A and B are shown apart, each in its own frame.
Chain A
Amino acid sequence: MFDSKRLVLAHFWVASIGFLIAAVLGEWQMYVRSPLHAWISNSELYYRSVTAHGAAMAYVFPTLIAMGFGYAIAELALKQPLIGVRWAWIGFALVVLGTVTAMVPVSMGLASVLYTFYPPMIANPFYYIGIVLVVVGSWIWVALMSINLHAWKKSHPGEPIPLAMFASVAGAYLWAWTSVGAAIEILFQILPVALGFKSTIDAGLARVFFSWTLHAIVYFWLMPAYIAFYALVPRAIGGRLYSDTMGRIAFILFLVFSMPVGIHHLFQDPQVGWGIKFLHTVFTGIVSVPTLLTVFTICASVEIAGRLRGGKGPFGWIAALPWKNPMMLAVAFSFVMLGFGGAGGLINMSYQLDFAVHNTQWITGHFHLIFGGAIVIMYFAIAYDLWPHLTGKALSDVRLMRIQLWLWFVGMIVMTFPWHYVGILGMPRRMAYFDYGHPAISPEALSVTITFVGGLLLVASAILFIVILLRGHIGNRISLPIFQFSVPVHPPTRLPAALNSFALWITLMIALSIVNYGYPIAQLITLKQSSVPAIPVSVQR
């Protein structure tokens, strides 16, 4: 029983194609600003590319993966046909339409404001309208996830919600609430100016609204990867999930604590006072807890697999793990990158240390390592795990998958480690070119060249990923066992309401966001004389 195959395939294919294009653009950017290339004569082209790369990688690719994976989970974990398939297709169409609407002005050079918008710079209105359509499409998914869960609960009163579905719905609610910040910024601040109804905008307030979305969006990207850790990895490598309860607690903590942390992106900003900045530092510390809990639970689950396969002693179980299995390789790589990236994140959380790295290449390295590395490598693993169930055909070349994962892992390390290093040297982000002849910048030249080589490995890996998926459509038709999620050591029979529903946690999520964002927003709204003239980017000045 898996009726929504075409729906899920459509999401994964559009996501993957967008991902490949954006990866190639990213590598081009690294090439033109490296010492290997002369100074780019038209730097507008560079920022056009950065805008396309960022918008595709941040808004389109992970959103479609979360949506497609969510629909698959709703059907496979709840073991009932997906309710609202027509609406799901409408949501998908909105995401595709929005992507095209946004990318047309971007490719014409009318919207080179990056994916983070930067008002008072104002781009062509269709760029923002396109992004709103993408988000509206994803809100349909949020509603459908909720509706499917409630239908299941009605017919299964008192039964524990399968962990994969519980986590997927937590991710959907998280996204619904976190996307509100950027939605307010676009609908009430930017679009009225872009459409010509207003000529001024409060840039500081816009940054506060955007920070509401900008940090928690990372947890939305991360949800599919964490669902894979809990619900796919133990099954795929022949183990058991160590603790179902700990999984639920981790996802609840993400839901509650992802939002009230975003002002750590604004530590150096003049429009937020230090008290609020300190508060957000504390909450950023708290939101590292679910990740640290997950690391323990998943390592313990993997150890069970190693011991079931005959591994003995304190380390023998590691050697006994099925290292030829792509899922095993992916989760190991993911954890290594999560370890380094997470340590970097704890450094950014401390505003004193952040002074040394804010807006340097360190930050670029940090989020590429966490998102591009730890999270995206699990997207690959999810696709490989689901693909035979979507196409009905075997994914037979396991060796090619391992090569693809190795290339991604090595490429990501080679690219992001030098970025961290030059960031500490003070190399700023978002530069179309550098004067490598300058004595202050010349020590950074070699590192930039190395990152370009890392990028080459990543592009090779992205192409291989597409090749593997394509070959999955022409393989031999096979009959598959029913899709299974991980089985916990102690499967829950009855759960307390707190671990089996969301009302309490959604209330807490909204309340905490209001506490941590209400004051700075109210303060800025009541502040006089803080709106400034908008600067249209398509006008030559």
Chain B
Amino acid sequence: MAAQAELRWAILVIAIVVFLLGMVVYMSLHWALMPPARIETIDPTTLHLAGEFTEGNLGTAIEPDGSVTVRVIGQQYSFTPQCLLLPANTPVRFRSTSSDVVHGFIISGTNVNVMLEPGYISTFEATFKTPADRVMPCHEFCGVAHAAMWARVRVIDKKDFFKQAGKERRLSCV
């Protein structure tokens, strides 16, 4: 009797855990919602000299295939660029890294949540539904002035964005 009650509870517990994990699997497959995947390394001491994270290449870019990529660097105690300009209703790929210590960022009101680690390139994909001004704080302790490290994100109408993108190679709202 007692052992049966225990067994029933154990089966229920396992069913709950399997159900929760099943939801994770479903979301992963159905919406392709996965944590950042590929492991890419980069030398933080030469970011500014060559490669995709040189200053002139930071900000939002339209790639040759028409997709949108935004490149951001975190450093003690700011992001470059400090204001990201992004189109609404368009898949956006973030590519970012750190030039010194561990940083991270979250964009308020969205699921964008990325850790930046020196030596590694972080990627994240997101689509912003509506035009809005948002804040983007550093969310990992990076030194004594960590609390001052906030950037901004301006999501604008898709048409306006691509009109502006025709004029400039890299976009930001600094």
Q: Which residues of A does B touch, CB under 8 Å? A: 33, 43-44, 46-47, 112-114, 116, 118, 120-121, 202-204, 207, 242-243, 246, 266-274, 277-278, 281-282, 285-286, 288-289, 292-293, 296-297, 300, 346, 349-352, 354-356, 358-360, 425-426, 428-435, 438, 440-441, 489, 523, 527-533, 535, 537, 541
Contact = CB atoms under 8 A, between A and B. Distances in A.
A349 B22 CA distance: 12
Given A527-B39, A541-B76, A440 B134 contact: yes
Counting from the closest, the 5 A-B pairs by CB-CB distance are A428-B139, A426-B108, A359-B139, A270-B122, A270-B120
B135 A438 contact: yes
Contact of B28 (A242, A278, A349, A355): A278
Given A120-B101, A351-B35, A114 B20 contact: no
Contact of B34 (A274, A358, A430, A531): A274
A268 B113 contact: yes
B17 A286 contact: yes
Contacts of B115: 266, 268-270, 359
Interface string B1-29: 01001100110011011101101100110
Given A203-B101, A266-B115, A286-B17, 13 more contacts: A246-B6, A267-B35, A271-B39, A271-B120, A285-B21, A359-B139, A360-B106, A428-B106, A429-B139, A532-B44, A533-B44, A533-B45, A535-B101
Contact of B24 (A351, A433, A535): A351
Contact of B101 (A118, A204, A272): A118
Interface stretch (B78-86, B141-149, B158-166): B141-149
Contacts of B90: none
Contact of B117 (A112, A267, A269): A269
Contacts of B120: 204, 269-271, 530
A112 B35 contact: no
B13 A293 contact: yes
A179 B118 CA distance: 25
A349 B123 CA distance: 21
B77 to A, nearest CB: 10
A417 B41 CA distance: 39
A274 B35 contact: yes
Interface in B96-146: 100-102, 104, 106-109, 111-123, 134-135, 137-146
A243 B39 contact: no
Contacts of B122: 268-270
B113 A203 contact: no
Contacts of B44: 532-533
Contacts of B42: 529
Given A43-B144, A269-B115, A489 B123 contact: no
Contacts of B119: 202-204, 529-532
Interface of B: 2, 5-6, 9-10, 13-14, 16-18, 20-21, 23-24, 27-28, 31, 33-45, 76, 100-102, 104, 106-109, 111-123, 134-135, 137-147, 150
Given A43-B147, A270-B39, A537-B143, A359 B135 contact: no
Contacts of A267: 35
Nearest to B111: A355
Contacts of A296: 6, 9
Contacts of A441: 135
A268 B43 contact: no
B118 A532 contact: yes
Nearest to B123: A270
27 contacts: A43-B146, A43-B147, A44-B144, A118-B141, A121-B142, A203-B118, A204-B117, A268-B122, A269-B120, A270-B40, A270-B117, A270-B121, A270-B122, A273-B37, A274-B34, A281-B21, A293-B13, A296-B6, A300-B5, A349-B24, A352-B28, A359-B113, A428-B139, A431-B146, A432-B146, A535-B100, A537-B144
Q: Is the interface of B mostly helix, strand, loop or mixed?
A: mixed
Nearest to A527: B41
B73 to A, nearest CB: 14
B14 to A, nearest CB: 7
Q: Which of B43, B109, B141 has the most CB atoms of chain A within a 10 A radius of its CB?
A: B141
Given A118-B101, A270-B120, A530-B119, A47 B6 contact: no
A114 B40 CA distance: 28
Q: Which of A203, A268, A351, A433 has the most CB atoms of chain B within a 10 A radius of its CB?
A: A268
A292 B13 CA distance: 7
Contacts of B18: 285
Q: Which of B20, B43, B119, B137 has the most CB atoms of chain A within a 10 A radius of its CB?
A: B119
B27 A352 contact: yes
Contact of A268 (B36, B118, B144): B36
A533 B108 CA distance: 31
Contact of B23 (A277, A282, A350, A433): A350
A289 B17 contact: yes
B20 A346 contact: yes
A276 to B, nearest CB: 10
B115 to A, nearest CB: 4
Contacts of A349: 20, 24
Contacts of A431: 137, 146-147
Contact of A121 (B5, B143, B147): B143
Contacts of A121: 101-102, 142-143
B35 A207 contact: no
Contacts of A532: 43-45, 118-119
Given A121-B143, A428-B139, A268 B134 contact: no
A426 B109 contact: yes
B33 A352 contact: yes
Q: Which of B5, B109, B115 has the most CB atoms of chain A within a 10 A radius of its CB?
A: B115
B149 to A, nearest CB: 9
A44 B141 CA distance: 12
A293 B150 CA distance: 44
B117 A271 contact: yes
B8 to A, nearest CB: 10
B28 A426 contact: no
Contacts of B24: 278, 281, 349-352
B118 A120 contact: yes
A426 B121 contact: no
A356 B111 contact: yes
A114 B42 CA distance: 26
